[in-house]
């Protein structure tokens, strides 16, 4: 029984490159993002991993990343489930703004609070707590049971939806998870125990 869960944040998007708050907006990957996702797939292929199912969000950048990874591991036709429960955090009124412009409008301290607190949402948007409240029930109902059944599962999603899952898997506090950086296109490979606890964790850094 493998019980393997692979989490990967999408490759660099067009709005990552422009330093914009992206949230539920739908830019695609940059050329760099395509390289990152392809390289992630190559590293996973190097481990000899074969997936039983893949999950991704309703957003293009995550879906594109998922397709590129599956292509590299020779599983382009793998069943892939898309759900907005795995979407990035909604940044509300910050969406589409350059992060420097947001600081000019609301002040550096306020923007830092919105970005790095666990439970304080930006105007009209979601906090990381709110994101976890939609991501975790989906993860626990749909994804985790497949892993615990002994399957190897890929989740290609976003920084904050993946933070929600990692917080639960690694039993982190809100303060601990907001401090956790997830690099674009960098797979994290978990082997889970029968009770869902983490047996091992490997970050496949570029």
> Catalytic amino acids?
10, 88
Cβ proximity of 29 and 58 under 8 Å = no
- What does DSSP assign to residue 90? P
Output the CA torsion 93→91→68→34 (10° steps).
60
* Cα–Cα distance for residue pair 9/12, rounded to 1 Å: 9
Residues 6+ apart with CB under 8 A from 198: 169, 170, 190, 191, 192
* Cα–Cα distance for residue pair 59/62, rounded to 1 Å: 6
Place of tokens 């920084």: 159
Reference 4, options 54, 70, 40; nearest CA is 54
Tokens of 81: 């489930």
């Amino acid at each position: 029984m493998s019980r393997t869960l692979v989490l990967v944040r999408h490759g660099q998007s067009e709005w990552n490159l422009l330093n914009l708050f992206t949230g539920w907006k739908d830019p695609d990957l940059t050329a760099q993002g395509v390289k990152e996702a392809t390289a992630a797939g190559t590293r996973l292929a190097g481990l000899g991993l074969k997936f039983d199912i893949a999950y991704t969000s309703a957003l293009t950048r995550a879906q594109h990343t998922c397709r590129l990874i599956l292509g590299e591991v020779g599983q382009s036709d793998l069943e892939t489930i898309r759900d907005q429960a795995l979407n990035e955090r909604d940044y509300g009124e910050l969406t589409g703004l350059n992060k420097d412009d947001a600081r000019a409008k609301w002040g550096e301290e306020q923007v830092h609070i919105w970005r790095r607190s666990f439970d304080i949402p930006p105007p009209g948007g979601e906090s990381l707590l709110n994101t976890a409240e939609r991501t975790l029930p989906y993860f626990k109902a749909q994804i985790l049971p497949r892993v615990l059944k002994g399957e190897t599962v890929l989740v290609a999603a976003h920084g904050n939806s993946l933070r929600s899952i990692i917080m639960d898997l690694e039993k982190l506090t809100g303060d601990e998870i907001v401090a956790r950086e997830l690099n674009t296109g960098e797979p994290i490979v978990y082997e889970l125990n029968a009770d869902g606890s983490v047996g091992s964790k490997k970050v496949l850094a570029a």
